[in-house]
Amino acid sequence: MLRLPRFALPAFVALVASASLVACHSSVELFGEDGGDGRSDASMDGGGRDLGTDASDPFSCGDAVSSCYEGANGMPYCCVESDIFPDCREGRWVCPEGTYEEAECGVIQATCEGSGGIYDDCDTSLDCVLVGNYCCPVCGAPANTDVRAVNASQAEAAYVEDICLAAAMGPVDCPECPTADNPNLAAYCDATGFRAQCQVIDLGNDVYRACEEDRDCELTVAECCPCGTFGEGRAIAVNDARDVQQILCGDTDCPTDCEPSFGELVPACVGGVCVVAP
């Protein structure tokens, strides 16, 4: 990691300020050989993030922000909030939604799991929704690669800040074409990784539809706790509806007084896969 000598810090700070970055004043100890601020590197995580001690941060960002950290490449960057998540898609540290970054943070120096990102935190599957992966909707029904799962409260932020940066400048001109829903796609909260995060599931995959005869198949809906009547376009056929609901709902308790109904639709096994038959 880059360490600045004592005599170079004022010039470095001035350079940062002149580059339209928030000035991080040297109000604490100058970088030393131990960890930059008198602490050992053990108090910093792999990306150079302050893990939280009683000591002062290596930079002070003033009243505009609450914390300023030394990035993996020695450049300062400031966040209004202290939580910083690794975003493996970008390959760098990023600040949470509602904060800002004052310099590139350098490459991640830690192992990441999953897709990363700051828009997909969840507690239950009811927190998660599907959003498109592009500025404009795809023509026809989307495939699983055309969507991503995010927290419903972060859907707008994900679109403007990550999916379609052009949207921050104004309305995006999208071509007119017919669109459709894919009833096999759903968002759910996956709590099996290092943090719970919204994920996309494609129930059109053969693992959920493989069958040998009609009685292997059941009707369900690609959502947690479906309730009411569902017709073609919403109903799907799977080989284990209870297993699907367990994936989609996790520990969520569904009401026992409302079950999905499908009118005259029935499941059938056709060509080794479950399908919805009228």
Contacts of 124 (CB under 8 A, 6+ apart): 189, 224, 249, 250, 251, 252
Encode pLDDT of 187-218 as tens digits.
999 988 777 899 999 999 999 999 999 999 99
Question: Rounded to the nearest 5°, which phi and psi values hold at 17?
Answer: -65, -40
> What token pair was written down for 126?
């009811």
SS (H, E, C) 86-122: EECCCCEEECCCCCCCCCCCCECCCCCCCCCCCCCEC
For the chain, domain boundaries:
6-94, 119-202, 204-278
The answer on pLDDT for 49 being more than 60 is: no
pTM for this predicted structure: 0.57
Encode pLDDT of 52-90 as tens digits.
333 233 333 333 333 444 444 444 444 433 344 444 334
